[in-house]
Amino acid sequence: MNTPQPKTDLKNLTQEQLVGFVESLGQPAFRGRQLLAWIYKPGITDFAQMTDLAKEFRAILAETATMSRFDDAQVECSRDGAVKFAFRLEDGQLIESVLIPEEDRTTLCVSSQVGCAMGCDFCLTGTMGFIRNLTTAEIINQVCAVRDWALAHDRAPLTNLVFMGMGEPLANLAHLLDAIAILTEQRGLDFSNRRITVSTCGLVPQMQQLGDLTDVNLAVSLHAANDAVRGRLMPINKRYPLAQLIEACRTYRQKRRKRIMFEYTLLEGINDSDADAGQLADLLRGVPCKINLLAVNPAGNPAYKSPGQDRILRFQRILRDRGYTVFIRQSRGEDIAAACGQLAGKGWEETVAGKDGEVDGRADGCSEVSPLSP
User: What's CA 66's distance to the chain center, in Å?
Assistant: 24
Would you call 138 a catalytic residue per the annotation?
no
The catalytic position among 96, 138, 168, 185 is 96
**Amino acid present at 220:** V
**Separation CA 276–CA 362 (nearest Å):** 42
Bridge partners (DSSP) of residue 108 are 99, 161
**Separation CA 193–CA 183 (nearest Å):** 9
Would you call 96 a catalytic residue per the annotation?
yes
Q: Which among 70, 63, 196, 185 is positioned nearest to 137, based on CA atoms? A: 70
**Separation CA 134–CA 14 (nearest Å):** 16
Q: Which among 236, 216, 237 is positioned nearest to 227, based on CA atoms? A: 237
The catalytic position among 123, 144, 201, 340 is 340
Q: How far is CA 141 from CA 48, 159, 173, 182, in A?
A: 20, 16, 17, 11
Q: Which helix (H) or strand (E) holds 266?
A: strand 260-266
DSSP string, 134-170: PPHHHHHHHHHHHHHHHHHTTPPPP-EEEE-SSS-GG
**Amino acid present at 78:** S
Q: Which residues are catalytic?
A: 96, 340
